[in-house]
Amino acid sequence: MSHRKFEHPRLGHLGFLPKKRSQRARGKCKKFPRDDVTKPPHLTAFLGFKAGMTHIVRDVDKPGSKLHKKETLEAVTIVETPAMIVIGAVGYVKTPQGLRAMNTVWAEHLNDEIKRRFYKNWFKSKKKAFTKYAKKYQNGSIEQDLDALKKNCDVIRVIAHTQVRKVKNLKQKKAHMMEIQVNGGSVADKVDFCYKYFEKAIPVDAVFTKDEMIDCISVTKGKGFEGVITRWGVTRLPRKSHRGLRKVACIGSWHPARVGYTVARPGQHGYHHRTEINKKIYRVGKADDASHRATTEHDATEKAITPMGGFPHYGIVKNDYLMIKGGIGGPRKRLITLRRSLFKQTRRVATEEIAIKFIDTSSKFGHGRFQTPEEKAKTMGRVKA
């Protein structure tokens, strides 16, 4: 046929080409929010580990909507976010070609979990990393480096790392490291802010607040090599098609004598780097605090945020956490980069205050029936050993 008989929208979005495996396992912040010098210095991003999903019940406060003053059930994701340790600061200079790193200042003492990041084989190494650099703190030359950052740089970012030893479920000893931009105040204020937090822990509630809209940057769950039906969503051919039916019937005209980039082809599916914007924080859970539990004003049951039997393929959430509306790309245990929104949020969805009435903690293995072990024991009675 020289032309198609009916119009229809193309299948599969071309904005995400090339669909290939991500080069990195951690989501990268390719852009940070615009700096506002009128505000005090603050961090603009954080790292967390995806634990799993559950659901909540809340009242909707949206005048004019059919849901106004009614209950709604929504899916939420729990991201475990232990405090991050600041171990350095980087200064950048603006050039016509973009930002250029001028200098990096490191803290005097670094944990073994971040030193492992600088070695291929930690067991066989001499573990001498940063021993010579630490002498800068004895001879006083570190002040010169900090003054150079204040004098010459335009952008300041802290180097911070995760505390993987606090997340036992990961079975990992090597910490993840990230540069986080410092916004607010003058350059001197930013450098002083970084230096003040050297070797100290910054909790997640120092970066994000409840009801804030954030961006989640992650690498999606990998699916391997997939065909055109799964990868692009094209229609299957009729049952009697020759040589298979899960195919694209025509991959292009004779001329131009090549296959166009817009034609659906089989290949890698999943494990792509993706940024999802405007995810609302429903709760900031602090360890050893009432906010860490799944108790609400309407549901006074004493229960932890971890569902019965633990989050599947993750375990128990013991550290600080964020409860984020909806799903987040990637499997359990994957590192998620959480970033402040790039623009001012004025929509009604963003400004609405969330009041949670109920958080589900039933087992996520199969059809969970009970919220707590006590409730199960009360209903089931004594179970044979």
Three-state secondary structure call for residue 196:
helix
Per-residue confidence band for 240, with pLDDT thresholds at 50, 70 and 90: very high
Predicted local distance difference test score (pLDDT) of residue 234: 95
**Does 1 have pLDDT greater than 70?**
no
The torsion angles phi and psi of 93, rounded to 5 degrees, stand at -110, 135
Predicted TM-score of the model (pTM): 0.94
The percentage of residues in the chain with a pLDDT greater than 90, rounded to a whole number, is 93
The percentage of residues in the chain with a pLDDT greater than 70, rounded to a whole number, is 99
Average pLDDT over residues 15-19: 94
**What are the tokens at 286?**
């602090």
Predicted local distance difference test score (pLDDT) of residue 77: 98
**Does 102 have pLDDT greater than 90?**
yes
**Does 184 have pLDDT greater than 80?**
yes
Average of per-residue pLDDT values in the chain: 94
Q: What is the pLDDT of residues 334-360, one digit of tens each?
A: 999 999 999 999 999 999 999 999 999
- Pure H helices in 153-284: 187-196, 228-232
Average pLDDT over residues 167-194: 95
Average pLDDT over residues 123-146: 92
Question: Which are the contacts of 78, defined by CB distance < 8 A and separation ≥ 6?
Answer: 50, 51, 52, 53, 54, 305, 311, 317, 321, 322, 323
Average pLDDT over residues 15-23: 95
